[in-house]
Amino acid sequence: MNKTIIGMDIIAKGIRREVTPTSFKSIAIILNIISKNVTTADLDKAIQLSRASFCPVWSMLKGNVDLEVNYKIVS
């Protein structure tokens, strides 16, 4: 993509199952990106690629945990 990211922070919140083992039921992730040239299309593509093939953690959670990712771009 060849984009410049000046800064980024991630907020993650999870809800645990009430039965043992108390694994996560759902996880919500908010990405705050500081960049002058990253677009929503860029982030949508990066998230989709991570979901589909790049991220082993996402692969491990798939089917077991509801995972929601949102983002905000600040220029």
Which residue in 60, 7, 13, 62 sits closest to 36, CA to CA?
A: 7
Does a structural domain hold residue 2? no
Model confidence pLDDT, tens digit, residues 34-64: 999 999 999 999 999 999 999 899 888 888 9
Does a structural domain hold residue 37? yes
Does a structural domain hold residue 1? no
Q: Count of domains in the chain?
A: 1
CATH of the domain at 17: 3.30.300.20
Does a structural domain hold residue 11? yes
What's the whole-model pTM score? 0.83
Torsion of CA 61, 31, 28, 15, to 10 degrees: 100
Model confidence pLDDT, tens digit, residues 5-27: 999 999 999 999 999 988 999 99
